[in-house]
Amino acid sequence: MGDMEDKIGKIEDKMQAQLEDLKCFLQDQWANTHSTRNRPVSEPLNEEISFPEIEMENTFPIAQLTDCFSRVVQILSEFNPQNPSPAIPASHVPSPTENQIPMQGRSCPPRETCPCQTDPQVQNSTRGLFPLREVPEIGRNGDVVTLRHRIPFTPQEINEFTRNIPTYEQDPFLVTKKMGDIFFQYNPSYKDVESLLQAFLSEREKNKIIAHVNKTRGRNAAHWPSQDPEWDYNNPEDYLQLYRCREAILTAMKECADSTDKWMELEKIKQKENETPSRFMDRIIEFGDRYLDWDLTKENSLRQVRRIFVNNSCKVIKNYFKTQCPRWSDMDLEELRKTAIYVFKGNEEKEKENNDDMEEMKKKMRCVIDRITKLESGHDNEPTTIAPLQKSNYQSSTCHFCEKKGHKMMEC
C-alpha cells in the first residue's frame, strides 16, 4: 500500500511541475502578445493567468485536466487580435479525430463522420489507424487551424485488413467494397493506397486497374501517378486530387471485374443432374451478384438471368419453354421458377413410371435368358412336356384328269 502511495505522489509532483512549466510558458506568450499589441515593452504585465487547482487524492482528475486544457486553448486563440475566440467548453475540446475546425480555404469534400469516431467499440479497435490525422495547431497568425499529418499503416494493420478476405479474382466486388470502406474510414495517403493495392491485388491485377484508371479522358479525369507525387495534403488542390484518384481506383476495380472471362464462365453454368430448378436459378444469381455486379431491380440483369436459366436448364425444361411458353423472356423470375419446378416434377414422375416398367421388363428378360442357358447346358432338371403326335389331316393330291385320289395328273 505504501508503494502505491509513493507512486501516486510521484505522479502528482510530475504533473504539477509540468503544469507550472506550461503556466510560465503561457505567461511569457501572453506578455509578448500584449507588449506588441496595446502597451510599451517596458510596461509590466498586470494580468495573471489563473488555472483551476488540481487536487489528487484517490481518483485521476480527468475533468480538472480537461478544464485546464480548455483554458489553454482559449488563451492560444486570443493571440490573434483580429479573430478573438470565446472560451471553448470542456465538452468540445478538439481532438485529433474531430473535424470541428475546417482548414482555411478548403474546397475539397468535407470528411464525413465514420463509425470509428462514434462507436466506442470500433474506436478502441481502430485507435491510431488514421494515416492522415487531422490535428488542430496554432497558425502563423495565432489562430487555430487543422493540419493533416501522415502516419503510415503498419504491416500488422495491413494484415488485419486482408484477414478472411478472398482474393480479387475470387470475389472482386467484396474486395472493392472492403477497399472503399478503408478509404472512407481511414483516409489513406498515396503511399498507403499503394500498400493496400499490393496487399489486396496481384501484380497483374494492380497493373490492369491502374491502366484502366489512366486511360480515362476528360476534364475531371484522375490519373494514378506511377511515382509518389509528394502531394501536400494540407493544400486543398492536392487533397482533392488524392480524393479523386481514390474514387477512380474504386471505379476501375468494379469495371475490371466485369470482364469477358466472367461472362464466359457464366455461359458454362449448367443445371446439374438431380439439381432442382430453384437451386439452379440461385446459383446463376449468386454468380452474377459476385462477379458481374447484377442489380435485379434493372431489366438488363433480369434478362440475363432468364436467358441463362432457360438455355442451360435440362432438356425437358428447355424444350417446354421453347415450345409451350414462347413468351418466357417476359416472365417474372418467380413465375419462371415455379413453371420450371412444375415441369421438373412432372418429368420426374414420368421417369419413375418408365423406370418401373423397364425394371419389370428386365426381370422377364433375365428369366428367359436363364431358361435358355439351362437348356443349352443340359442341366435343366425341370420336366419337359412333349405334345403327343396327332394324326395328320393331310390328304393326298387328286388327279384332275381321272379325278381319282392318290396320284397327280402328271402321274396318271
Res 31 pLDDT > 70: no
Query: In whole angstroms, what is the distance from residue 205 CA to residue 239 CA?
Result: 26
Burial of 383 (0-12, 13-18, 19+ CB in 10 A): exposed
pLDDT, tens digit, for every residue of 282-296?
999 998 887 787 888
Lookup: cell for 259: 470482364
Phi-psi sector, 186: left (phi>0), alpha (psi -120 to 50), beta: alpha
Burial of 18 (0-12, 13-18, 19+ CB in 10 A): exposed
- At 408 the pLDDT is 72
- At 140 the pLDDT is 75
pLDDT, tens digit, for every residue of 285-324?
998 887 787 888 889 889 999 999 999 999 899 999 988 8
Q: Which residue has the cell 468535407?
A: 110
Contacts of 314 (CB under 8 A, 6+ apart): 271, 344, 347
Q: Quick count: other Cβ atoms within 10 Å of Cβ 393?
A: 5
- At 194 the pLDDT is 93
First to last CA, the chain: 155
**Alpha-carbon Rg of the chain, whole angstroms?**
45
Average pLDDT taken over every residue of the chain: 72
Query: In whole angstroms, what is the distance from residue 160 CA to residue 180 CA?
Result: 16
- At 26 the pLDDT is 64
Q: Which residue has the cell 493496400?
A: 196
What's the distance, CA 299 to chain centroid? 23
Query: In whole angstroms, what is the distance from residue 307 CA to residue 33 CA?
Result: 78
More confident residue, 241 or 86: 241
Query: In whole angstroms, what is the distance from residue 151 CA to residue 99 CA?
Result: 17
Least confident span in 1-10, 197-206, 360-369: 1-10
- At 193 the pLDDT is 93
- At 281 the pLDDT is 94
Mean pLDDT of 80-99: 40
Lookup: cell for 299: 431489366
- At 381 the pLDDT is 59
Least confident span in 105-114, 306-315, 367-376: 105-114
Report DSSP state, residue 381.
-
- At 245 the pLDDT is 92
Top mean-pLDDT range of 47-56, 75-84, 309-318: 309-318
- At 71 the pLDDT is 57
Res 62 pLDDT > 80: no
Query: In whole angstroms, what is the distance from residue 123 CA to residue 117 CA?
Result: 6
Written as one letter, the residue type at 110 is P
Res 88 pLDDT > 50: no
Query: In whole angstroms, what is the distance from residue 105 CA to residue 85 CA?
Result: 19
Res 112 pLDDT > 80: no
Lookup: cell for 248: 477512380
Q: Under a CB-based contact definition with an 8 Å cutoff, are residues 271 and 311 in contact?
A: no
pLDDT, tens digit, for every residue of 165-220?
888 888 888 899 999 999 998 889 999 999 999 999 999 889 989 998 888 776 66
- At 18 the pLDDT is 66
Q: Under a CB-based contact definition with an 8 Å cutoff, are residues 399 and 386 in contact?
A: no
Where b means 16+ CB within 10 Å and e means fewer, 45-65 reads eeeeeeeeeeeeeeeebeebe
Top mean-pLDDT range of 1-5, 76-80, 144-148, 331-335: 331-335
pLDDT, tens digit, for every residue of 151-170?
888 889 899 999 988 888 88
Q: What angle do CA 159, 164, 168 make, to 5 degrees?
A: 85
What's the distance, CA 410 to chain centroid? 106
- At 153 the pLDDT is 87
Q: 137 - beta bridge partners?
A: 145
Q: Give the β-pairing of 144-150 and 132-138.
A: antiparallel
Q: Is the dihedral of CA 331, 333, 335, 341 positive or negative?
A: positive
Res 123 pLDDT > 90: no
Least confident span in 26-40, 246-260, 335-349, 351-365: 26-40
